[in-house]
Amino acid sequence: MAADVVIPTIGESVTEGVIAAWLKQPGDWVERDETVVELETDKVTMEVPAPAAGKLGEHAFSEGDTVEVGAVITTVDESAEKPEPAEVASSSDSSAAEASKAGESSASAEQGVAANDAARAQKASTPSGPSSSGSTAASATPLARKLADDHGVDLGHVTGTGAGGRIREQDVLAYVQAGGNGSPPAAGRSGPARDVTTERMSPLRKRVASRLVEAQQTAAMLTTFNECDMSAVMALRSRHKEAFGDRHGVNLGFMSFFVKAVVRGLRAQPAVNSFIVEDDEGKPAVQSHDYCDISVAVASPKGLVVPVLRNAESLSFAEIEAGIKDLAVRARDGKIALEEMSGGTFTITNGGIFGSLMSTPILNPPQSGILGMHAIKRRAVENPDASGEVVIRPMMYLALSYDHRIVDGEGAVKFLVAVKEAIEDPETLLLDL
């Protein structure tokens, strides 16, 4: 009896995915719920498990193929007998060494040793290419091998984080970003390299692209700016970050302050926390929310993802920091669930961690607002406590992009002022004033 391995239903808006990596090959024995294949969709990378224990059949699709939800990608033969654990065969040099120790001097043993020595000598004299062949390259996904070739990376130097140590594209990217050296220029080439590479856009990247275009084409998007003095938050954080970490087991960062400040702004200006939708008659309507589900933009190896921090209005500083850390780590590792990236009512993006001084963030449909945080820079400003006096303060530019169809300019400005005032007087956030 054979059980079908089927692409499961992932979400209402997801109808297909791409076979990222086969983790089991035809003829392999698999246990029930053991991962067979990794599937990449336009929103998340997920693992497809075996529905039963047995021997895996032939692959109906290859790595890189697009498959629809409900498609049968392979089968599991439940009637097959589970193989006995096989003893690990010793290598030819080990056999030869043991034969030598035992005093064996047969011609076959001598020939085996000689052949193996020749093979080792040939391997030592042959340099490995950018993407090393053999077991290392075989344990890498096609996307990882192509990325390694593009960047001149020897896969033998890359540590795999996939199942069974399989090298994935994010492992190669991490190696390159960490300063991994590529291969030397090709012999005979003079002058700068002029290579051109073309690779298919990933489903996630295509989804991000379509949503950004949708936001610009459908919303009356406008951006308003302000700046905030980070002195008070930085001083408060400096005083309490060690005790905070000891008590809660998580670092006290700036994001918890900004999430709390955003919640205050959304409470004061509920239109920023609303959507434009269609009613039962297909006419425009406003959907309001009495909760604040904050989407936090995270840069992952495969592109931008926005996991959602649910009910941020009811969370403590420690819960916010722990929640954001958990979502960010799992998003970067491709382990976050689809539902954890859906349903946010407002988005925060922090370009400051990459050095951005000012930007105009693009809306995350169907949301009506997104806050852009930026780099903290020490600048000369007027002392708010002494008119006419110039002081040097750590300042951050804030940008609110909003949908002018539902949010008036006055409401947008007041929202941003509420965020600014909360950051400049963080004790009011702690006391819920």
Q: Assign 181 to helix, strand or coil.
A: coil
Residue 69: closest CA among 9, 4, 3: 9
Q: Concatenated DSSP letters for 320-385?
A: HHHHHHHHHHHHHTT---GGGGS--SEEEEEGGGGT-S---PPP-TT-SEEEEE--EEEEEEE-TT
Please name the amino acid found at residue 22.
Answer: W
Separation CA 340–CA 106 (nearest Å): 66
Separation CA 57–CA 37 (nearest Å): 13
Tell me the two tokens of residue 383. Answer: 């002392």
Residue 260: closest CA among 344, 341, 320, 323: 320
Q: Which residues are catalytic?
A: 404, 408
First CA to last CA distance, the chain:
66
Separation CA 58–CA 31 (nearest Å): 17
Q: What does the buried/exposed string (b/e) look like for 286-308 if buried means 16 or more CB atoms within 10 Å of the residue's CB?
A: eeeeeebbbbbbbbbbbbbbbbb
